[in-house]
Structure 1
Amino acid sequence: MTGFTGNAENELYQEVVLEHKRAPRNFGHLPQPTHQAQGTNPSCGDRIAVELQLQQGRVQDIRFTGQGCAICMASTSMMTEAVKGKEVAAAQALQQHFRAVLTGEEAPEDAPLGKLVSLAGVRQYPSRIKCALLGWHALMHAIADNGNGQSVSTEEEPA
């Protein structure tokens, strides 16, 4: 399997992933979530639960719990930072861009990902793409949640 396109990208990727794995942002439970969903990756055992406080079409607050590999935890942590306070439509658009970059449908330099671009290197490792998308998958299901706290699997296509 080939490596990343360059040392700088590889170093940034490793640094960001390790930092978010060591100290995940927005980790824990919300006192009263309005929306929630859980995601699991049966092939590796990653499990993530996302809780949202949605108000007037905006992600007022977001938290996540669970356990997973460094890529899963870092991606979910970065996701919470990226969507917190944003409109639901903006969170959905960001998820679509992130997924498109990881699946090779969009070039990282063309996608409005901000810090999330540091995870673009995952596209070089197809078996790890599900790890990076699990939290996002749960987020999209949480947004669509009708109050039942759905459980989702990465075997399904992300919303």
Structure 2
Amino acid sequence: MSFNNLDQLYRQVIMDHYKNPRNKGAIEDGSVTVDMNNPTCGDRIHLTMKVEDGVVTDAKFDGEGCSISMASASMMTQAIKGKDIEHAMKLSHVFSEMMLGNDYPDNLDLDDIEALQGVAKFPARIKCATLSWKAMEKGLQSEK
């Protein structure tokens, strides 16, 4: 697949998550709640996660922001549901490396998250993509 076709596919995946977000909403009896914002661009997220026996059994987000910010939150909640805290934190670390343009292990199934790798070329947008991941890290730190 050529670079242009791959880039177009990634854009479509991002826009699909933006227009049809997965896990949008809030968990009423969520054990972890984190609110974060990016003051430079106005993105904000309200993340709720249910953690039982060290496993993220549910994750939902609400908020407003650019397509990258909201698509990333949608992808992140999909990626961490059903994962133990250690695995979720590892995914966050890998995502951070990807945002810095660094190599990351290819043995991890990142699924749709890989569509965000092009954000690394736009330093001003990296904070948009990482907002929900930072919120997840902050919330799960308290669960360790």
Same fold (TM > 0.5)? yes
Structure 1 residue 54 corresponds to structure 2 residue 51: yes
Check whether the contact 1:41–1:47 (CA below 8 A) recurs between aligned residues.
yes
Across the aligned residues of Structure 1 and Structure 2, the Cα RMSD in angstroms comes to 1.6
Q: Which has the higher contact order (CA 8 A, sep 6+)?
A: 1
Secondary structure, in 3 states, of the residue corresponding to 2:135?
A: helix
Q: Which residue of 2 aligns with 1:27?
A: 24
* Counterpart-to-counterpart distance in 2, 1:69 and 1:38: 17
2:98 pairs with 101, 115, 122, which one? 101
Q: Which residue of 2 aligns with 1:15?
A: 12
Q: Which residue of 2 aligns with 1:154?
A: none
Q: Which residue of 1 aligns with 2:71?
A: 74
Check whether the contact 1:51–1:63 (CA below 8 A) recurs between aligned residues.
yes
Deviations 1:46-68 (A, max 9, x none): 00011010000000111101001
* Counterpart-to-counterpart distance in 2, 1:125 and 1:102: 9
* Counterpart-to-counterpart distance in 2, 1:40 and 1:124: 22
Q: Structure 1 residue 111: deviation in Å?
A: 6.5
Check whether the contact 1:50–1:64 (CA below 8 A) recurs between aligned residues.
yes
Check whether the contact 1:46–1:72 (CA below 8 A) recurs between aligned residues.
yes
Check whether the contact 2:50–2:59 (CA below 8 A) recurs between aligned residues.
yes
Query: Normalising by structure 2, what TM-score?
Result: 0.92
Check whether the contact 2:101–2:117 (CA below 8 A) recurs between aligned residues.
no
Aligned residues: 141
1:143 pairs with 118, 121, 140, which one? 140
Q: Which blocks of at least 5 consecutive residues in structure 2 are unaligned?
A: none
Q: Structure 1 residue 114: deviation in Å?
A: 2.6
Check whether the contact 1:33–1:51 (CA below 8 A) recurs between aligned residues.
yes
1:65 pairs with 55, 62, 65, which one? 62
Moved over 4 A (4+): none
* Counterpart-to-counterpart distance in 1, 2:10 and 2:60: 23
Query: Normalising by structure 1, what TM-score?
Result: 0.83
Secondary structure, in 3 states, of the residue corresponding to 2:50?
A: strand
Check whether the contact 1:36–1:143 (CA below 8 A) recurs between aligned residues.
no
2:126 pairs with 126, 129, 133, which one? 129
* Counterpart-to-counterpart distance in 1, 2:72 and 2:88: 14
State the identity as a percent: 38
* Counterpart-to-counterpart distance in 2, 1:22 and 1:85: 24
Check whether the contact 1:51–1:62 (CA below 8 A) recurs between aligned residues.
yes
Return the letter of the residue paired with 1:31. Answer: E
